[in-house]
Chains A and B, each alone.
Chain A
């Protein structure tokens, strides 16, 4: 058996290399597509191996270039990193497949593939970074690539949305860099583990520095992950992007920044410090507002993609809620929700993209009877929507159950009520979509299903929704270990 020592860095390197080769293959589109998918597949296999290795042998630390901690840059793959990496690689592979086989939405296909590869590489980098400045660099790469995959659509709206995203994202990056500077000032280290050891001594001496750094960090990463009052860029950006980009952005990108925040919280600051400050209460309030406001805004949307985008705002709230409740089961729920929301939101965005392309309709009120014309696609949408609402038997139920139980464990029953209430609200905005599609007169008899290759990712994701709903135990060890990292 070959050694897995280099696997973590290889995941980033393979994707980065592919990102630079793919745009050169404009004349050989088939080769470019094969390379694109091949890189995705290879990284998925590697991430499975790494996750298995982390479960068997514990945290992997990789020193880039062979230089050890104080001088070198380390990649730290603990259970959390392995888990999120696994989620990213699997979901992005499905999206890669969709981007290759779905009808073209962008002018320069190879350039688009390159951007997606760059974004995926940066996401893997963020979740594995053990050096805080390295994390910042990956955050910047992913921010830039995320803006670019919206702008590639080239329409008026998408460019305006991407510009707004870029400005706010740059503001967030500024905040993050500032907080890194403040932390560097009191620790003299950039390695996250060494930072924590130093902070145990110096945090008490320079409380203002640490407090300011935390404020900038939460706001900086909060903007990027669209935590409620900072979410204003999200609906336009996600609604006007090409289908594959929307799925990638909503399903993975926003969550990666939450993961970055949590990793900094437990690796650099130590959870005691992170929660000694009033950050936890603030996050709880913001998360609750996100859940309610996201749902309420979603109810009034007629444009399907905007509805899904607002639903993402609410779902980001769930993940923050779980992390800030900080009971074992709440954190497990949040960790589950990273995967489960990625599956169902990707499914919904891809399926809705297919519907929009096949029919040309962008609004819920136009969908009359389409369910009978596109039975398979709408079956997938229905499953995704049921899971979003949290019907037992679907994956969405599992994470909501854990979150609600976690709220009770934390002695804050009000949040369990909030989760129930928001499930009701989700039903209010997801069911009209299904009801309009299946009932009503058949308004568009010419619409047909897309080819089988386009439907394959939808079916795979729909099966995943059912699978995790019925037997969630398969990833449980990894989720448990992740929760332990955070709650210990």
Chain B
């Protein structure tokens, strides 16, 4: 019984890993106060989704999808192609967010999100 569970887990190891990574990223993003760490967590989360997406197209022992004699088992190229776009989007998000972090540091002198909120709050009162 427990062997069966282990085997099933092993069979879905990519999905399992990506979900774990996703949760790590999500949790870090919501609980850490440092803005840079938030961005790193965001990237971990994105990577988890990319892994999940690419794993959908993966096939055990599959080859690159180029028509050659003797090759019969292919990896589905569509998810990989999509994820290239996804990576570009994630990079641009990160770059833009880092630019905003630089500006935030210039204005507030800190990277701690709680302190930034505190500084803002003081001004409102």
Q: How many residues of B contact A (CB 8 A)?
A: 30
Write out the residue numbers on chain B whose beta carbons fall within 8 Å of the beta carbon of A166. Answer: 93, 96-97, 100
Report whether A148 and B96 are in contact in the complex, using a CB–CB cutoff of 8 Å.
Answer: yes
Given the complex of chains A and B, what is the CA–CA distance between A137 and B97 in angstroms?
18
Provide the main secondary structure of the chain B interface. Answer: helix
Report whether B120 and A157 are in contact in the complex, using a CB–CB cutoff of 8 Å.
Answer: yes
User: Which residue of B has the minimal Cβ distance to A174?
Assistant: B45
Known contacts A166-B93, A166-B100; A181 and B52 CB within 8 A of each other: yes
Given the complex of chains A and B, what is the CA–CA distance between A73 and B63 in angstroms?
26
Known contacts A163-B35, A167-B97; A156 and B53 CB within 8 A of each other: no
Segment of B3-11, B65-73, B101-109 in the binding face: B101-109
Provide the main secondary structure of the chain A interface. Answer: helix
Report whether B53 and A177 are in contact in the complex, using a CB–CB cutoff of 8 Å.
Answer: yes
**One of B29, B56, B89, B103 near A171 (C-beta < 8 A):** B29
At the interface, yes or no: A433 with Cβ under 8 Å from chain B? no
Given the complex of chains A and B, what is the CA–CA distance between A390 and B48 in angstroms?
47
Write out the residue numbers on chain A whose beta carbons fall within 8 Å of the beta carbon of B46. Answer: 170, 174, 177
User: Which residue of A has the minimal Cβ distance to B92?
Assistant: A144
Write out the residue numbers on chain A whose beta carbons fall within 8 Å of the beta carbon of B38. Answer: 167
At the interface, yes or no: A151 with Cβ under 8 Å from chain B? yes
Write out the residue numbers on chain A whose beta carbons fall within 8 Å of the beta carbon of B42. Answer: 167, 170-171, 174
User: Which residue of A has the minimal Cβ distance to B30?
Assistant: A171
Query: Distance (Å) between the CB of A387 and the closest chain B CB?
Result: 30
Write out the residue numbers on chain B whose beta carbons fall within 8 Å of the beta carbon of A163. Answer: 35, 97, 100-101, 104
Write out the residue numbers on chain A whose beta carbons fall within 8 Å of the beta carbon of B22. Answer: 174, 178
Report whether A144 and B96 are in contact in the complex, using a CB–CB cutoff of 8 Å.
Answer: yes
Given the complex of chains A and B, what is the CA–CA distance between A156 and B85 in angstroms?
32
Query: Distance (Å) between the CB of B22 and the closest chain A CB?
Result: 7
Given the complex of chains A and B, what is the CA–CA distance between A325 and B12 in angstroms?
39
**One of A137, A148, A151, A167 near B89 (C-beta < 8 A):** A137
At the interface, yes or no: A190 with Cβ under 8 Å from chain B? yes
Q: What is the interface of chain A, defined by CB distance below 8 A to chain B? A: 133, 137, 140, 144, 147-148, 151, 154, 156-157, 159-160, 162-163, 166-167, 170-171, 173-174, 177-178, 181, 184-185, 190
A140-B89, A163-B35, A171-B29 known; 13 new pairs, CB 8 Å cut-off, are: A140-B93, A144-B96, A148-B96, A160-B104, A162-B100, A163-B97, A166-B93, A171-B45, A173-B93, A178-B52, A181-B53, A184-B53, A184-B79
